[in-house]
């Protein structure tokens, strides 16, 4: 009898369900890999969402900057009969357009906005202008509204990556242009220190172009809005 009971117990042990690895380990390797994959997907989705939000905020700042510039340029025109001369927005972060702009806005990547004045009989920047920028979100509906889904066109020869300019403002000329234009040349003799604007003058070539605050007639050369314009048009160096 004892042997029979012993054999019966042994048979029960053989056919009893064995604990699987999952029960022994608490969680399987496959489940760990699945959780890691899910976490990675969530991180990628979060990164893309944050990136879009950052781009959207930058684009909103760009649009607001152009609105501010447009108001300043119209006030400038009302006072002087022309818009600011070529290169006026190149002084990114500067104050050369004060009091019309307390500080010249920069693109959110630290670059100046592309200012393309239009010449007429009164001067190099009296006929109008285009001011262009590149919105980060190419699906922004405003790009279609301003007519620049494939770029605003008419970018001067020599400007890097012209196709990226897909948004802007314009006055006196359509924003969308088909033909590239040459880079505008500085207009000499338009900077009037008496108006409270910082001018640059080459009085002692080949010395430096220096800030000139006196009456325009006391400058031996023309007066310029930027040092770069002064150097390009005179014998002075910097």
Is the torsion defined by CA of 59, 61, 63, 65 positive or negative? Answer: negative
The 10s digit of each residue's pLDDT in 48-106 is 766 678 889 999 999 999 999 999 999 999 999 999 999 999 988 899 999 999 999 99
Average pLDDT over every residue of 205-224: 70
Q: Which residues pair with 116 in a beta bridge?
A: 130
**Pairwise pLDDT comparison (3 vs 143), residue with the higher score:** 143
What pLDDT, on a 0 to 100 scale, did the predictor assign at position 69?
97
How many CA atoms are closer than 13 Å to the CA of 138, on its beta-carbon side? 6
- pLDDT of res. 196: 55
């Amino acid at each position: 009898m004892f042997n029979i009971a012993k054999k019966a117990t042994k048979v029960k042990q053989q056919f009893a369900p064995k604990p699987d690895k999952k029960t022994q380990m608490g969680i399987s390797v496959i489940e760990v890999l699945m959780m890691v994959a899910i976490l990675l997907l969530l991180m990628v989705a979060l990164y893309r969402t944050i990136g879009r939000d950052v781009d959207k905020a930058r684009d909103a700042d760009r649009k607001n900057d152009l609105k501010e510039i447009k108001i300043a340029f119209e006030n400038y025109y009302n006072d002087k009969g022309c818009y600011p001369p070529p290169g006026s927005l190149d002084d990114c972060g500067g104050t050369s357009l004060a009091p019309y702009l307390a500080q010249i806005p920069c693109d959110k990547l630290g670059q100046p906005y592309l200012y393309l004045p239009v010449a007429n009989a009164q001067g190099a920047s009296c006929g109008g202008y285009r001011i262009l920028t590149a919105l980060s979100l190419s699906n922004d509906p405003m790009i279609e509204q301003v007519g620049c889904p494939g770029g605003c066109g008419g970018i001067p020869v020599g400007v890097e990556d012209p196709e990226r300019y897909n948004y802007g403002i314009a006055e006196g000329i359509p924003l969308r242009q088909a033909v590239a234009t040459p880079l505008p040349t500085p207009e000499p003799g338009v900077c009037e220190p008496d108006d409270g604007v910082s001018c640059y003058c080459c009085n002692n070539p080949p010395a430096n172009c220096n800030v000139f605050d006196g009456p325009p007639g006391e400058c031996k050369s023309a007066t310029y809005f930027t040092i770069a314009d002064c150097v390009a048009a005179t014998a002075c160096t910097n």
